[in-house]
């Protein structure tokens, strides 16, 4: 198959799939999702993505109708049905199906969506241009919910400005990007990244960056930092499932980073090698 869509056990080409209008994802964005990349039909960091999904589901009271192992097995079998071995793997769980009502019914059965389409990991070595925006999202950013209108609008603003991402900040404090985490390499060679509180989604790629820094003995500070610190940093790094570790060269048209290329490349190479090794 060229691509694949799955809904509660039924699957077909994405172009042929439909879902019930009364699915609460359609009315309220009432659900959670995860995204990972697949190479050689092996999904990178699947266990970590599953842990985050089930942790978030527990926080908002969604009862996923499969164990982690069962859902992982379903996805792993589905990726084998797509022609390309390099895929973007997306899955979401909505709270369930009912006539529109803000208050969900009791004992509702959750719906499982999965979509698979050919896609290679992005080039992590080419610097990107970004813009900065005030973070006006709600205060549950630690859960990967379907409520993405603020990030959609921010991504549209970035595209209109000829940029690839948008950095969010709350009164000057950097939180994250529209669809990635952001960290900085400081002049002393340490890495600073926003704390994993309710202001950010603690990304799997962010966790990999922290572990790689620890492996190399690079100090990591998980604490708030400002836009001023970011603009003065030796390097500005975006991390996500699709980019792993990619540098930023311009913020709002102003040049940033480029002062610690060897350290940056060391981290990039290590993270890329981990991806290649675990999808071999």
pLDDT at 78: 98
Name the more confident of 155 and 106: 155
pLDDT at 28: 96
Check: CB of residue 119 under 8 Å from CB of residue 87.
yes
Angle at 177 between CA 278 and CA 240, to 5 degrees: 5
Residue 172 has pLDDT above 90, yes or no: no
Range list of H helices, 9-45: 24-28
Q: Is 144 a catalytic residue?
A: yes
Helix (H, G, I), strand (E, B) or coil at 58: helix
Say what percent of the chain tops pLDDT 90.
Answer: 98
pLDDT at 209: 98
pLDDT digits (tens, 9 = 90+) for 12-28: 999 999 999 999 999 99
| Averaged pLDDT, 252-270 | 98
Please tell me which residue in 68, 81, 120, 144 is annotated as part of the active site.
Answer: 144
- At 142, the pLDDT band (50, 70, 90 cuts) reads very high
Distance CA 144, CA 47 (A): 16
| Averaged pLDDT, 135-164 | 95
pLDDT at 71: 98
Distance CA 131, CA 250 (A): 8
pLDDT at 173: 96
pLDDT digits (tens, 9 = 90+) for 214-239: 999 999 999 999 999 999 999 999 99
| Averaged pLDDT, 85-96 | 98
For residue 169, give every residue at least 6 positions away whose Cβ sits within 8 Å of its Cβ, in sequence order, or none. Answer: 132, 133, 134, 135, 175, 226, 227
pLDDT at 133: 97
Residue 177 has pLDDT above 90, yes or no: yes
* E-strand stretches of 8-127: 10-12, 31-39, 42-43, 87-94, 111-118
| Averaged pLDDT, 201-205 | 96
Distance CA 109, CA 177 (A): 33
For residue 123, give every residue at least 6 positions away whose Cβ sits within 8 Å of its Cβ, in sequence order, or none. Answer: 246
pLDDT at 107: 87
pLDDT at 219: 98
**Structural domains of the chain ordered from first start:** 4-118 (3.30.470.10), 128-278 (3.20.10.10)
Give the mean pLDDT of the chain: 97
CA-based radius of gyration for the chain: 19
| Averaged pLDDT, 43-48 | 98
pLDDT at 100: 96
């Amino acid at each position: 198959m060229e691509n694949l869509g799955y809904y509660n056990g039924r699957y077909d080409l994405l172009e042929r799939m439909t879902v019930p209008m009364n699915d609460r994802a359609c009315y309220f964005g009432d659900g959670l999702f995860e995204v990972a990349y697949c190479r050689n039909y092996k999904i990178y960091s699947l266990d970590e993505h599953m842990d985050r999904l089930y942790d978030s589901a527990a926080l908002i009271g969604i009862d996923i109708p499969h164990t982690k192992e069962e859902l992982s097995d379903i996805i792993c079998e589905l990726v084998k049905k797509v022609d390309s071995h390099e895929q973007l793997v997306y899955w979401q769980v909505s709270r369930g199906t009912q006539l529109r009502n803000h208050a969900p019914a009791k004992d509702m059965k959750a719906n499982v969506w999965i979509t698979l389409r050919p896609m290679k990991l992005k080039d992590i070595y080419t610097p990107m241009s970004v813009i900065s925006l005030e973070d006006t999202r709600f205060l549950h950013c630690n859960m990967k919910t379907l409520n993405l209108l603020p990030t959609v609008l921010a991504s549209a603003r970035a595209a209109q400005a000829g940029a690839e991402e948008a950095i969010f900040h709350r009164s000057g404090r950097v939180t994250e990007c529209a669809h990635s985490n952001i960290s900085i390499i400081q002049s002393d060679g340490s890495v600073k990244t926003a704390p994993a509180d309710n202001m950010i989604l603690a990304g799997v790629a962010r966790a990999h960056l922290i572990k790689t820094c620890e492996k190399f003995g690079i100090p990591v500070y998980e604490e708030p930092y400002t836009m001023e610190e970011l603009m003065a940093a030796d390097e500005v790094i975006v991390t996500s499932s699709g980019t792993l570790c990619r540098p930023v060269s311009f913020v709002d048209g102003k040049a940033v980073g480029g002062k610690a290329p060897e350290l940056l490349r060391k981290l990039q190479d290590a993270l890329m090698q981990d991806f290649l090794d675990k999808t071999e």
